[in-house]
A = this chain, B = another copy of it.
């Protein structure tokens, strides 16, 4: 039996990035796509709990089934595994995202939300992003790297609880570097304009401020230096190294110390 590969993304089933990813992994197994029916950038691990989700068959070819749904990237993964597939996929690939998901963007990214969700289900999962937001971005090299990384993961697996956050620079690539999530944050995040004379509105924008630009182990450094960055990314957010310190600090608190 060929490996079963689930493909999703956050830019929507019609995006060039997912077309490039489907083409990249098609030679590696049977491919099922379930992706959002439109753009869901910045959806993180959001789920749709108050309205129902609709699923639609888009097309069917030899070894390739393509579906869309009205939900988020995480909904796509949940729906595929709970309702669409008759066995657990051997691999989940998400992307190729139009734009970087390096550094703290891993937390906002729908591409990575879907990859993390695969990891929750115990599926080897990879999120791929190209550092080019343009609609006509060239995905050729990114797709080539996506294929060899996907092939390696299919062969050797990933440790439990860990997926890969793969970012691919939009340049002549020197090679692959395993990295840490760069420390930093977005700044100047809003553009303020008017919806009317009375009503201000705020458009999310901004720029990334790198707090460790010289850290050659970080993903932003790798991308700036023409390497594909791979950050092994955990679904367990616990700060394990702080448990004893925190236990001492908080477990002695009792309600009797409540200010009256």
Q: Which residues in A have some Cβ–Cβ distance to B below 8 Å? A: 27, 39, 41-50, 52-55, 69, 74-75, 78-79, 82-83, 104, 106-108, 113, 116, 120-121, 141, 144-145, 147-149, 151-152, 156, 159, 161-162, 165, 173, 175-178, 180-181, 183, 185-186, 188-190, 192-193, 195, 199-204, 217, 230-240, 242-243, 245-247, 249-251, 253-255, 257-259
Contacts and interface: CB of A to CB of B under 8 A. Distances in A.
Contacts of A203: 52-53
Residue from A27, A79, A204 whose CB has the most chain B CB atoms within 10 Å: A204
Specify how many copies of this chain sit in the oligomer.
2
A149 B238 contact: no
Which of A156, A195, A258 has the most chain B CB atoms inside 10 A of its CB?
A258
A46 B40 CA distance: 10
A45 B107 contact: yes
A246 B232 contact: yes
A238 B242 contact: no
Given A82-B190, A148-B253, 10 more contacts: A41-B49, A42-B49, A43-B44, A44-B45, A44-B46, A54-B201, A75-B204, A83-B190, A83-B202, A181-B237
B104 A149 contact: no
Contact of A113 (B44, B176, B242, B246): B44
A74 B230 contact: no
A202 B67 CA distance: 14
Contacts of A121: 185
A136 to B, nearest CB: 19
Contacts of A78: 186, 189-190, 204
Contact of A238 (B27, B233, B258): B233
Contact of A152 (B83, B144, B234, B253): B253
Contact of A46 (B46, B116, B176, B237): B46
B52 A46 contact: no
Contacts of A195: 52, 54
A233 B39 CA distance: 29
Contact of A147 (B79, B156, B259): B259
Contact of A148 (B49, B116, B257): B257
Contacts of A83: 190, 192, 202
